[in-house]
């Protein structure tokens, strides 16, 4: 086995010793300093278990349909937190004083119904898809940020850290290893998991290994581990330079973000931080039946909301808030219809939050479609591919060259969404399409053996995907470059069963979804 293969297959990430407040820290290499956006820092909050999006961002404009689909867990309309950006949605009441305040201050946004075609409902597989940024039928063993970092530093880990790049590029707080940070050739971090390894780190010493083929590979791993963990000194140094200036809640997530804030405030030039919170697999007892605004899901979002507010307040007090943007994601959402156990089952798309001084404070997308007679298997349909969110963050905040998109995300056709204020990377603002116009329709509707899609393009890349109500991709009749104009596209539906389908039209940064129906 070649060394690179051995490393790639043997290592999914390596933990540093418990350096800060009892948390382990995982370190990667440092970014080149001659790029724009050098000081910009991304903070990713992973919500493990599959967050219920419909009870997080509640559709006020479809409240009757929402309550009908979830009679035992629906949040009362009078309890919803309204925001100035959009009258059609309300936030879960547990976000009062936290995320709700950030929306009102213009420092948060939400992207509705984020997902991908042909959703997978396994926690492990869905997490892999999100972290690797692959299609549902692809198996990729490295991550979107790992590939980005590898392009920035093709020689890593050789001679890292060094005088030019003394700080880690990405740090994960906690013991969970994210494949999002795995590079395509080698792991970007190495493990120190016992006292012996820790003292080797301090003494810059590599443990002896047997003089065998396996021993040589082990020695190589230990060398790289020792080298990577030399970042511990810069982490300790940054932690000692800054003090948290606000009081954080006594919760696990707040404790993680408190460490992140101290490292950013202490001057660490780290590009990406990962933190996580579990508990979102709410198949039962998601709410307290006597008061649906309380319970497991409410407690989780109060923890997230309060932790994010303390974190952003701390960054502002330290004078570094304009450098930092945060985002949340979960491996999937939950079904539209609640179950008999007072919970929700694994579903497809869900909302994704972003926060920080540099986010564009909007609500992107429309409220999910909910049928009058909702079925057990009905899902929230994807409006935005999660890789469009990644692409937008990479280009608009981490200032990635657009020509790298194909290498990092495997395709260069993902939308650029208006998520970040343009001054973050000095870009031209991305403008979202007026959602009141009609840019795609079909006739006849309902249809039998075939239908004709009519769509209006502003020019550039055009994509039409047709999904069923579970999120399965039925057809992609349009995917290519077209000049400005209106087009007709016939679609053969003879093999489809009679049902409701959804045509999703994407034209560069713009998109629209229309319901189409096969009947009789």
Length of the chain, in residues: 520
Angstrom distance (rounded) from CA 360 to CA 427: 13
User: Which of the residue ranges 6-10, 262-266, 449-453, 463-467 would you say has the lowest mean pLDDT?
Assistant: 6-10
Q: What tokens appear for 475 in the block?
A: 């057809």
Cα–Cα distance measured from residue 378 to residue 384, given in angstroms and rounded to the nearest whole number: 18
Mean pLDDT of 195-212: 46
pLDDT confidence of residue 35: 47
Mean pLDDT of 118-143: 96
User: At residue 90, does pLDDT exceed 90?
Assistant: yes
In this predicted structure, what is the pLDDT of residue 162?
Answer: 78
Least trusted range by pLDDT, from 55-59, 186-190, 445-449: 186-190
pLDDT for 418 equals 93
The more confidently predicted of residues 458 and 16 is: 458
Distance CA 304, CA 314 (A): 15
Average pLDDT over residues 120-145: 96
Q: How far apart are CA 128 and CA 187, in angstroms?
A: 16
Say how far apart CA 135 and CA 409 lie, in whole Å: 10
Which pLDDT band holds residue 221 (cuts at 50, 70, 90)?
low
Give the least confident one: 58-62, 72-76, 156-160, 509-513: 156-160
- Report residue 470's pLDDT band, with 50, 70 and 90 as the boundaries: confident
Query: Which residues contact residue 68 at a Cβ distance below 8 angstroms, ignoring those fewer than 6 apart?
Result: 372, 374
How far apart, in whole angstroms, are the C-alpha atoms of residue 22 and residue 220?
Answer: 29
What per-residue confidence (pLDDT) applies to 211? Answer: 62
pLDDT score, position 436: 64
Q: Dihedrals φ, ψ of 273, to 5°? A: -120, 140
CA 382 to the chain's CA centroid: 14
Q: Token pair of 248, please?
A: 């954080």
**How many CA atoms lie less than 13 Å away from 190 in the CB half-sphere?**
26
The per-residue pLDDT for 218 is 58
Which has more pLDDT, 28 or 101? 101
Higher model confidence: residue 11 or residue 69? 69
Query: Omega before 253 cis (within 30°)?
Result: no
* Number of other CB atoms surrounding residue 166 within 10 Å: 16
3-state secondary structure of 441: strand
Please state, in angstroms and rounded to a whole number, the distance separating the CA atoms of residues 452 and 503. Answer: 11
**pLDDT surpassing 70 at residue 214:** no
34-43, 196-205, 457-466: least confidently modelled range: 196-205
**Mean pLDDT computed over every residue of the chain:** 86
How far does the chain reach from its first CA to its final CA, in angstroms? 58
pLDDT at 464 over 50: yes
Rounded Cα–Cα distance for residues 241 and 244 (Å): 10
Q: How far apart are CA 281 and CA 515, in angstroms?
A: 30
Q: Which span out of 28-37, 129-138, 199-208 was modeled with the highest average pLDDT?
A: 129-138
Q: Calculate Rg over the CA atoms of the chain.
A: 24
Q: In this structure, are residues 342 and 55 in contact, taking their beta carbons and an 8 Å threshold?
A: no
Q: Which residues pair with 491 in a beta bridge?
A: 451
Instruction: Dig out the tokens for 315 from the structure.
Output: 């960054």
Note the pLDDT tens digit of each residue in 413-432: 898 899 999 888 887 776 65
**Both tokens of residue 469?**
């109500």
CB 52 within 8 A of CB 280: yes
Residue 216 has pLDDT above 50, yes or no: yes
Q: What percentage of the chain reaches a pLDDT higher than 90?
A: 65
Provide mean pLDDT across the span 448-474.
93
Q: What letter would DSSP give residue 83?
A: E
Question: Between 36 and 201, where is the model more confident?
Answer: 36
Domain 440-518, CATH:
2.60.40.1930
Between 1-15, 317-331, 374-388, the lowest mean confidence (pLDDT) is in 1-15
Query: Of 147-156, 295-304, 403-412, 484-493, which gets the smallest average pLDDT?
Result: 147-156
Confidence of residue 10 (pLDDT cuts 50, 70, 90): very low
For the segment 93-115, the average pLDDT, to the nearest whole number, is 97
Q: Mean pLDDT: which of 48-52, 161-165, 229-233, 506-510 is highest?
A: 48-52
| Residue 36 confidence (pLDDT) | 54
Q: What is the pLDDT of residues 342-369, one digit of tens each?
A: 999 999 999 999 999 999 999 999 999 9
On the 0-12 / 13-18 / 19+ scale of CB atoms within 10 A, 517 is middle
- Give the DSSP letter string of 335-351: -SS--TTSS--B-S-EE
Location of each CATH 2.60.40.1930 domain in the chain: 440-518
Q: How many CB atoms lie within 10 A of CB 431?
A: 9
Phi, psi of 245 (to 5 degrees): -105, 5
Phi, psi of 188 (to 5 degrees): -90, 5
- What are the pLDDT digits (tens) for 243-279? 899 999 999 999 989 988 998 999 988 899 999 999 9
Q: How would you write 375-403 as a 3-class SS string? A: CCCCCCCCCEEHHHHHHHHHHHCCCCCHH
Q: Record the tokens describing residue 200, joined without a space.
A: 């080797």
Higher pLDDT: 223 or 202? It is 223
- Which has the minimum average pLDDT: 11-20, 257-266, 301-310, 490-499? 11-20
pLDDT score of 2 more than 50: no
Q: Each residue of 155-199: pLDDT tens digit? A: 887 888 878 778 887 888 876 658 898 888 775 643 333 333 323
Which pLDDT score, from 0 to 100, does residue 463 have? 95
Comparing C-alpha atoms, which of 328, 410, 412 is closest to residue 142? 410
Return d(Cα 97, Cα 205) in angstroms, integer: 50
Average of pLDDT values for 308-334? 97
Average of per-residue pLDDT across 485-513 = 92
Give the residue-averaged pLDDT of 85-110: 97
List, edge to edge, every strand of the sheet that includes 485-492. Answer: 440-443, 450-457, 485-492
Give percent of the chain above pLDDT 70: 82
């Amino acid at each position: 086995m070649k060394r690179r293969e051995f490393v790639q297959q043997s290592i999914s990430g390596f933990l540093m010793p418990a350096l800060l407040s009892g948390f382990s820290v995982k370190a990667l290499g440092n970014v080149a300093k001659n790029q724009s956006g050098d000081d910009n820092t991304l903070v990713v909050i992973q919500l493990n278990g599959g967050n219920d999006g419909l009870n997080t961002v509640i559709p006020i404009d479809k409240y009757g349909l929402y309550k009908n689909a979830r009679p035992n867990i629906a949040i009362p309309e009078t309890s919803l937190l309204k925001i100035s950006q959009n009258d059609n949605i309300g936030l879960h009441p547990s976000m009062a004083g936290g995320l709700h305040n950030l929306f009102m201050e213009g420092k948060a946004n939400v992207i509705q119904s984020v997902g991908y075609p042909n959703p997978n409902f396994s926690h492990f597989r869905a997490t892999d898809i999100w972290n690797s940024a692959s299609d549902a039928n692809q198996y990729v063993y490295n991550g979107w940020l790992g590939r980005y970092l590898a392009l920035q530093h093709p020689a890593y880990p050789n001679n890292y850290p060094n005088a030019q790049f003394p700080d880690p590029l990405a740090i994960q707080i906690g013991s969970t290893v994210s494949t999002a940070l795995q590079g395509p050739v080698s792991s970007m971090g190495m493990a120190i998991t016992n006292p012996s390894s820790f003292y080797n780190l301090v003494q810059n010493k590599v443990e002896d290994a047997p003089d065998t083929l396996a021993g040589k590979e082990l020695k190589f791993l230990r060398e790289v581990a020792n080298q990577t963990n030399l970042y511990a000194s810069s982490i300790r140094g940054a932690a000692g330079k800054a003090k948290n200036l606000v009081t954080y809640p006594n919760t696990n997530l707040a404790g993680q973000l408190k460490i992140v804030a101290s490292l950013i405030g202490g001057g660490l030039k780290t590009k990406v931080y990962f933190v996580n919170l579990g508990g979102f697999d709410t198949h039962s007892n998601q709410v307290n039946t006597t008061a649906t605004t309380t319970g497991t899901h409410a407690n989780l979002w109060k923890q997230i909301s309060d932790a994010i507010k303390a974190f952003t307040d701390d960054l502002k007090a330290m004078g570094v808030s304009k450098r930092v943007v945060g985002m949340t994601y979960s491996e999937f959402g939950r079904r539209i219809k609640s179950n008999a156990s007072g919970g929700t089952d694994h579903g497809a798309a869900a909302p994704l939050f972003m926060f920080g001084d540099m986010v564009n404070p909007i609500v992107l997308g429309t409220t999910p479609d909910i049928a009058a007679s909702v079925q057990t298997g009905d899902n929230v349909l994807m409006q935005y591919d999660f890789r469009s969110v990644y692409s937008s963050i990479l280009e608009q905040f981490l200032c990635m060259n657009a020509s790298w998109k194909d290498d990092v995300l495997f395709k260069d056709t993902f939308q650029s969404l208006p998520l970040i204020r343009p001054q973050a990377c000095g870009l031209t603002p991305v403008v979202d399409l007026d959602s009141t116009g009609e840019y795609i329709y079909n006739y006849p509707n309902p249809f039998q053996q075939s239908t004709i899609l009519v769509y209006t393009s502003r020019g550039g890349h055009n994509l039409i995907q047709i999904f069923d109500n579970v999120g399965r991709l039925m057809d992609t009749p349009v995917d290519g470059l077209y000049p400005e104009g209106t087009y007709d596209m016939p679609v053969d539906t003879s093999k489809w069963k009679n049902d409701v389908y959804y045509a999703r039209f994407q034209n560069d940064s713009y998109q629209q979804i229309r319901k189409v129906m096969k009947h009789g």
